[in-house]
Every structure is written in structure tokens, then in C-alpha cells.
Amino acid sequence: MYILLNMAMTADGKIATESRKVTSFGSPRDLAHLYELRATADAIFCGARTVEETGATLGNGGDEYTQIRLKQRLQAYPVRVVVSGEGSISSTIPLWNAHSSPIIVFTSGRASKANLERIRKLATEVWVSPGDEIDFPEALKWLATSYGVGRIVAEGGATLNDTLFRSHLIDELHVTICPYLAGGKNAPTLSEGKGWSRLGQATRLRLHQKSRRKGELYLVYRIQSNR
Ligand SMILES: NC(=O)c1ccc[n+]([C@@H]2O[C@H](COP(=O)([O-])OP(=O)(O)OC[C@H]3O[C@@H](n4cnc5c(N)ncnc54)[C@H](OP(=O)(O)O)[C@@H]3O)[C@@H](O)[C@H]2O)c1
């Protein structure tokens, strides 16, 4: 399994404004970058708040990208995986009405019976981790076996990113630094949650590629301390 994470952030590291009304700072070029990455992957992976707050349907970007995918012998549309440990994901988001590809929800023993029943009606399939925490390595093994997923583009948000980094599941990080300062003490940054207390424990990155397109910097890091 190879997982790359793609995020766009302001120069002060924010991935949304404090009000969460602005959820993207990237240019049309940055959006095309996202679609190009999706066009290399079997699946898209994101957290419940991200699909709720952005209204994203996690498609393939349109006909041009369908062609690219088919040439690479990928399914026309990526499988969509949403993580919702409590199963709290809203029933009224646009995602549920976009029927391009399977929608999988990863949840845990913390999900109430009512939430489980509700999301089972909405999603193609729900994978329930037995304990309170989602066992991501097991979930990903299941995804590989059941849906032939070998390469994933993860797309945030901050909470899910933290877990994926802490579990050493990210192989590559694409960051677009956008020419804005958002400020806001409570505006989410690229990775939230528990974090690390010592530098020695922090995820180590190696800068692999960099390019500048107009005001944006496109950085690709490989993760050094992994698995
Ligand atoms: N600029 C960008 O590139 C970018 C990209 C993505 C998102 N964003 C922004 O980031 C914000 C969302 O980030 P966020 O951190 O609030 O939310 P998030 O990570 O998208 O979703 C959080 C929710 O996902 C579930 N979840 C995440 N990690 C989990 C884990 N390890 N185990 C179990 N469940 C887990 C939980 O759902 P339950 O509550 O059901 O347990 C949790 O409440 C939005 O404002 C969005 O616009 C920006």
C-alpha cells in the first residue's frame, strides 16, 4: 500500500480559516494538481469533517482524468473512503448523492447502533473496527483485498492526518503553500491531534521536489522515519 497526502495551506500553516468558511486557499492550478494525483490512485481517503465542510463528492475531475485513469488501467473513478470513528458523519452531504464509485466508511466500536444503521444505508460498505480506535493497518488490508486498492490519495483533514502520520502510514506528502496568511488560533493546521512532544519523535521529512507556479510553492516530501 502506498499513501500520499495532498494538502494546501497558507504561509502560516492553516488549512482552513478559523470560521472554517474558507476551506481552500489554492488556485485552479492547485486544484488541477489534486486531480492529477487522484488520477494515479485507486482510492481517496478523508475525514468526516472534511467531506461535510467542503461538500466534496471526491470525483475524478472529469472526462480528461477519466481518460488518464483508463490508460493506466485504473477504474474510471476512485473508490471513496471516509473515516468516521463515531459514525457521526452527516446524512445530508452531497457525497451520498454522487454515485460514481463505491463509498466506504471506516468506523469503530465507538459508533452508536443508531449511527451504524444510518451510515449502512448511505454507504456502499461500512468497515467496523472492533475496538474504540480504528485499526488502520487492518482496515487498509481489508480495502486492498476487497477493492483492489494499492495506492491512496489522502486529503485530510487535520485530525485524520495526525493519526496517519502517527501510525506511520503516509509515504509521501504534497504541500502547496499558498500566498495567504489566515491567522486564527483555532484555525486548523496540517496535522492536529496529539502531536509529538520531542523533536526525535516528530515525523521526519525529506524534500523530494519543489516547484513554483506563480505565487504558489509546490513541495513534495518523502517520509523518512516510516514503518
Ligand atoms: N486545505 C486543505 O488542503 C484541506 C484539506 C482537507 C481538509 N481541510 C479542512 O480541514 C478541516 C477538517 O479537518 P478536521 O481535523 O476538523 O476533520 P477531519 O480530519 O476531516 O475529520 C475529523 C473526523 O473524522 C473522523 N476521524 C478522523 N480521524 C480519525 C481517527 N483516527 N479515528 C476515528 N475517526 C477519525 C472523526 O469522525 P467522528 O466524529 O465520526 O468520530 C473525526 O471527528 C475542514 O475545515 C476542511 O475544510 C483543508
CA 67 centroid distance within chain: 23
Q: Give the residue-averaged pLDDT of 90-99.
A: 97
Q: What pLDDT, on a 0 to 100 scale, did the predictor assign at position 227?
A: 44
Angle between helices 63-71 and 28-38 (to 10 degrees): 30
Q: At 30, is the pLDDT very low, low, confident or very high (cuts 50, 70, 90)?
A: very high
- Residue 193's pLDDT is 87
* CA pair distance 93, 54, nearest whole angstrom: 9
Which helix (H) or strand (E) covers residue 31, if one does?
Answer: helix 28-38
CB contact at 8 A, 196 and 214: no
- Return the CATH class of domain 2-223: alpha beta
List, for residues 37-86, the tens digit of each pLDDT value.
999 999 999 999 999 999 999 999 999 999 999 999 999 999 999 999 99
CA–CA distance, 163 with 166 (Å, rounded to integer): 5
Cα–Cα distance, 181 to 193 (Å, whole number): 22
pLDDT band at 226 (very low <50, low <70, confident <90, very high): very low
- What one-character DSSP code corresponds to residue 204? P
Nearest ligand 1 atom to alpha carbon 89:
40
Find the 8 Cα to ligand 1 centroid distance in Å. 15
- Show the cell assigned to 91: 446524512
Strand spans (E) along 74-200: 79-83, 103-107, 125-128, 151-154, 172-178
DSSP state of 23: -
Residue 44 host element (H or E) = strand 43-47
Ligand 1: list residues with CB < 6 Å.
7-9, 15-16, 20, 23-24, 46-50, 53-54, 83-89, 108, 134, 155-160, 163, 188, 192
Report which protein residue has its CA nearest ligand 1's atom 33. 85
